[in-house]
Amino acid sequence: MKVLVIGSGAREHALAWKLSQSPHVTKIYAAPGSQGMAGIAEPVNIKVDAHNELVAFARENKIDLTVVGPEDPLVAGIVDLFQRKHLRIYGPTAKAARLEGSKAFAKDVMSRHGIQTGGHKVYDKAAPALEYLANCDYPVVIKADGLAAGKGVFICRTQEEAEAAVAEAMVEKRFGDAGRKVLIEDFLQGEEVSVHAISDGHNILPLCLAQDHKPVGDGDTGENTGGMGTYSPLPQITDAQNSVLERDVVVQTIHAMNREGEPYKGTLFVGCMMTKQGPKVLEYNVRFGDPETQSIMMRMKGDLFEVLNATIDGKLDTVEVDWDPRSVVTVVLASGGYPRDYEKGYKIKGLDSGFGPDVQVFHAGTKKVDGDWYTNGGRVLSVCALGSDLKDARAKAYAAVDKIHFDKMIYRKDIGFRGLKG
């Protein structure tokens, strides 16, 4: 079977790596892919938003399954288009993808179906938002309504910070149209977890829990990024809490989308806050998380191709997945300055080091020139390691990180710190 993976990041590299282990898969293409994936997926020079070109490629090359990595093509309706052309594609329709495409829509769905989330207000003009901010309690969370690559979220401890966030989104338009509306949300106390599940609209396959580290700096300091590292499993989350997450968040959401008349087929990734009152939804994502996927694929025992294929056919109940009981830690190596301005083109050393069988390095922003690797993006590499427990996985991941170097390289040195507490 031939597979086309859409996207070019470390998440897509990890998906392609896992798909390549399936005995059903004979060939993987990635559009646009990257040179870092070249050993497993042939890069195809088509951008993720060139939907008609992707359709033509899938047709001409007799692709059996297309897997979409990032959210933008899903929200823009790539699944609907492929379906209209009778091509097999994995992911939600544009209408279902509004769960991520509009945070205001997601809040409406939650409120209509009794799914627990924080209180919020939506504004499409700066003046009333600023008026609210002059009288509210702090901290608050300010979010751009639309897609902003994980960067349109501000935790504001003072009125001054909140006003700056509103100005950035609505006046300076840092996130373009995505900041046309902003949400001002209650700040929820607790620990955030990344809950992933796959659904065919009726059956649900929960994936292993992971935890991301969104702020750029150690100890959760600095600006929010797309994610600086993950680990799995989470020793601090009990089986009982995990069951509540599945029942009250995942199952409820899939049922809610059915009642909305928009059955949800694909990966549902819910950012949840574990509050004293139980889990509350922070946000929905309609695709695999990055860098959560890198950790999840490292632990997944089962055939990803069979899972995605069965999802399309509404037969998810016919496949089984197991999880490696070991722990995994993923550390993101990024370019200094990320998530804002950063420079590219620094030589990456050490990628040819022997990392051992429990380590995988997935490429995000890299480029190969004359046999040498160079930085070519904000998030550059994901370094993943399996270990007997979280401490061991973390030691192995950082030992691998120590072998890699590029100028202005930044990474968090505390991935997994919450799981190691206590």
∠ CA 223-225-228, rounded to 5° = 110
Q: How far is the CB of 23 from ligand GLY (least distance, A)?
A: 29
217-256 binders of ligand GLY (CB under 6 A): 226-227
Residue number, 285 or 309, with CB nearest to ligand GLY? 285
Biggest CA-to-CA distance, the chain: 60
Tell me the two tokens of residue 365. 């922003």
Find residue 78's DSSP bridge partners.
none
179-218 binders of ligand GLY (CB under 6 A): 212
**Options 122-130, 180-188, 289-297, 394-402: segment touching ligand GLY (CB under 6 A):** 289-297
Phi, psi of 103, rounded to the nearest 5 degrees: -70, -30
Task: Tell me which residue has tokens 């959760």.
Answer: 220
Tell me the two tokens of residue 92. 């939600």
- Contacts of residue 50, defined as CB under 8 A and 6 or more positions apart, other chains included, come to none
**Options 46-54, 77-85, 174-182, 285-293: segment touching ligand GLY (CB under 6 A):** 285-293
The answer to whether 52 touches 28, Cβ cutoff 8 Å, is no
| Cα–Cα distances in angstroms (integers) from residue 22 to residues 39, 48, 266, 324, 391, in the given order | 15, 24, 19, 17, 30
Q: How far is the CB of 128 from ligand GLY (least distance, A)?
A: 29
Q: How far is the CB of 151 from ligand GLY (least distance, A)?
A: 10
**Options 164-172, 286-294, 315-323, 351-359: segment touching ligand GLY (CB under 6 A):** 286-294
Q: How far is the CB of 328 from ligand GLY (least distance, A)?
A: 15
79-138 binders of ligand GLY (CB under 6 A): none
End-to-end CA distance of the chain, in Å? 47
Tell me the two tokens of residue 150. 């994980």
Cβ-based neighbour number of residue 259 at 10 Å: 11
Residue number, 69 or 206, with CB nearest to ligand GLY? 69
Give yes or no for residue 289 binding ligand GLY (CB under 6 A). Answer: yes
Among 36, 73, 91, 150, binds ligand GLY (CB under 6 A): 150
The Cα–Cα gap between 69 and 292 comes to: 12
| 191 CA to centre of own chain | 18
Q: How far is the CB of 232 from ligand GLY (least distance, A)?
A: 13
Residue number, 64 or 71, with CB nearest to ligand GLY? 71
Q: How far is the CB of 126 from ligand GLY (least distance, A)?
A: 26
Q: How far is the CB of 292 from ligand GLY (least distance, A)?
A: 6
Could you tell me how many residues of this chain bind ligand GLY (CB under 6 A)? 8
**Options 160-168, 233-241, 284-292, 351-359: segment touching ligand GLY (CB under 6 A):** 284-292
The answer to whether 41 touches 26, Cβ cutoff 8 Å, is no
Binding site for ligand GLY (CB under 6 A): 150, 212, 226-227, 285, 289-290, 292
